[in-house]
Amino acid sequence: MIKLLRLGHATFETPDLEKAIEHHTQVIGLSLAGRDGKRAFLATRTGQLAVELQQSSQSKCTKLAFEVPANADFADIRRELQQHGVTSEERNDSVPGLSKVLSFKDPKGTSIELFRDWSYVGNEQQVVGAGVFKLGHIAFIVPEPQAMAEFYGKVLGFRMSDWIGDFFVFMRCNADHHTVNFIRGDKINMHHIAYEVRDFAHLQNACDILGQRKIPIAWGPTRLGPGHNVAIFHRDHDDWITEFYAELDQMKDEDLGYFDPRPWHRDRPQRPKIWDNAVVAQIWGPPPTPDFLRRK
């Protein structure tokens, strides 16, 4: 089975590249690590590539890149993908900080790139905006979440962390409670993108930054149920929901099968489960606004 270590970066198409760069640098707090024609590359405050932006006629998430172990053999991975009916190709990427990648598509058409070797791309700079630590997870709207969960589980080695009813699944590839989410909906689209911050004080600072820029908070501050992270959500320049979060549950030992105990857990110990969709899946905080519930 393919072993993924972390989500490296995501690629987003945007109709207005300049506004996209401004939001990602001045609000989210990424640094501009480079530009190449109609593309821009943004890194976290630690210097890791997090986002690639591409000028296009529409806004869309087109690619996710995941790190695999340094000793992973791309030829072996290609053979394993072929057994699942997935065609892949090796190529030299033109993204800063990466060299060779293995590329293929998931069932909903999103490009997946696997990489082994990487280098820092951002220089340490004065923090502007929220100053997020890392790209944490991506959530997608899909017609059949169960089918997507099966692909990501059987092919890419993801584990199920939680379900809300039968319409919302949270999946992990490392200790983090979730790296990808799939939500039932009629049209395939991204639902939200999430960035990790240090702690609740960092989250409060992000609220102040949104307030200074007159960007409404669509939901939060709240402590969610699945994952138990504290979070706030806002809509960006392209109307995508963006989440800032901290204190996400950690599965530090897969053999134990439960998340690292925390005082706010609903269950003791907290294990992967199906949350009742008749129950609001949050621990505290205001309910989401109608704007948040609007699916783009």
d(CA 7, CA 137): 7
- Residues 6 or more apart whose CB falls under 8 angstroms from that of 59 comprise 12, 13, 14, 15, 238, 239, 240
pLDDT at 279: 64
| CATH architecture of the domain formed by 134-286 | Roll (3.10)
Dump the DSSP string for 233-268: EEE-TTS-EEEEEE---B---TTT-SPPP-TT-SSS
Do strands 89-92 and 100-105 pair parallel, antiparallel, or not at all (unpaired)? antiparallel
User: What does DSSP assign to residue 15?
Assistant: S
Q: Is 137 helix (H, G, I), strand (E, B) or coil?
A: strand
Q: Is 70 helix (H, G, I), strand (E, B) or coil?
A: coil
Cβ neighbours around 191 below 10 Å, total: 19
Tens of pLDDT along 193-231?
A: 999 999 999 999 999 999 999 999 999 999 999 999 999
pLDDT at 289: 79
- Residues 6 or more apart whose CB falls under 8 angstroms from that of 126 comprise none
Question: What single-letter amino acid sits at 70?
Answer: A
d(CA 39, CA 229): 32
Residue stretches of the chain with pLDDT short of 50 = none
Every domain range in the chain assigned CATH 3.10.180.10: 6-115, 134-286
CB of 270 within 8 A of CB of 260?
Answer: no
Q: Of 223, 227, 275, 282, which Cα lies nearest the Cα of 250?
A: 227
d(CA 63, CA 111): 4
The burial of 211, by beta-carbon neighbours within 10 Å (0-12 exposed, 13-18 middle, 19 or more buried), is given as exposed
pLDDT at 272: 98
pLDDT at 103: 97
Do strands 180-184 and 134-142 pair parallel, antiparallel, or not at all (unpaired)? parallel
Q: What is the pTM (predicted TM-score) of this model?
A: 0.95
The burial of 172, by beta-carbon neighbours within 10 Å (0-12 exposed, 13-18 middle, 19 or more buried), is given as buried
Q: Across the chain, how many H-helices and E-strands are there?
A: 5, 18
CA atoms within 13 Å, Cβ hemisphere of 138: 23
Task: Write down the residue that tokens 């993924």 correspond to.
Answer: 4
Task: Write down the residue that tokens 């480079």 correspond to.
Answer: 34
CATH for 6-115 (3.40.50.1820, 3.30.70.1230, 3.10.180.10, 3.40.50.880) = 3.10.180.10
Q: Is 19 helix (H, G, I), strand (E, B) or coil?
A: helix
